[in-house]
Amino acid sequence: MSKLHLLIPTILLLCLSSCTPPDSVSELLVAFRNAQNGQLGEALFRSELCLRSNSDDVNALLLNSYCIFTTASESSQKAKALFNLDRTTRITPESFTAWYFYGWALCENQQYREALPVLEKALELLPPGSKKKGNILLLLGRCSSRNNLQEKGLRYLQPLRVHAPYNDWPEVYNSLGILALNRTDYRGAERAFKQALERERANPTVLQNLAVTYDLYLNNLAKAKATYIQCLLALGNKQHLDTRLKIQNRLRQLSARKN
């Protein structure tokens, strides 16, 4: 789970707006605090109670969609959450919060092309002096790197390297590494991924990207194998079965090659 992901319930609580009916505010505040404390089932239940009173309550829709999205085990459940988040942007088209959380969820669902214009709209609506600008730039950088939009990606990501706390977040450097790979700057990608690992040594996503860089682009068999093994250790045994199987198969292929 990314550090940005952990901030989402707090940001939602801070964005509680006047569109919530007065008689639902106390219930919704408790629901937000449930979400902050990781009690997503309780937050989901309370937000649904609020929606029974007013199905267009944007704050309840945002929290409810967040809870569904982060606990969903099926794609149909995530699709429902995305539908409702899209709906919040239509109910309140000038709401920064609605556009921001819809874009965040699209990113989490790896719909980076769809997320880009949504997040750009959130950036356009960002209140002056808001501390959330870095969060949006980080998400925009992620979308740009996955779509190989070099100019946009660098414009969004480079400022984060000099501003706390983002200069200590591995995702900034991971996205810069992906941009470097896409422009065939393989040594630059290696440096960026290593900078990400300096900030989080056991980040499986970054370790996998670095291993692939050694494997497919820098032709360094020994480092590729060592980094793939580090990635497997970081992934553990209980989750990410498909990723672990792919890495294990690749390790067998590399071991069969002559050094």
List, for residues 43-94, the tens digit of each pLDDT value.
Answer: 888 888 888 888 889 999 999 999 998 888 888 999 999 999 999 999 999 9
> Per-residue confidence at 37, pLDDT binned at 50, 70, 90?
confident
Secondary structure class of 164 (helix, strand, coil): coil
Dihedral sign, CA of 125, 33, 82, 144?
Answer: positive
C-alpha 153/C-alpha 132 separation (Å) is 18
**Which range (61-70, 103-112, 144-153) has the least confidence?**
61-70
For 153, list phi and psi in degrees, rounded to 5.
Answer: -60, -45
DSSP letter assigned to residue 127: P
Residue count of the chain, please give it: 259
Q: Give domain limits for the chain.
A: 1-125
Third-level CATH fold of 1-125: 1.25.40
Mean predicted lDDT score pLDDT of the chain? 89
| pLDDT at 34 exceeding the cut of 90 | no
DSSP letter assigned to residue 184: T
Q: What pTM was estimated for this model as a whole?
A: 0.84
Q: Which amino acid is at 171?
A: E
Name the burial class of residue 87, with classes exposed (0-12), middle (13-18) and buried (19+) by CB atoms within 10 angstroms of its CB: middle
Summarised one tens digit per residue, pLDDT across range 168-184 is: 999 999 999 999 999 99
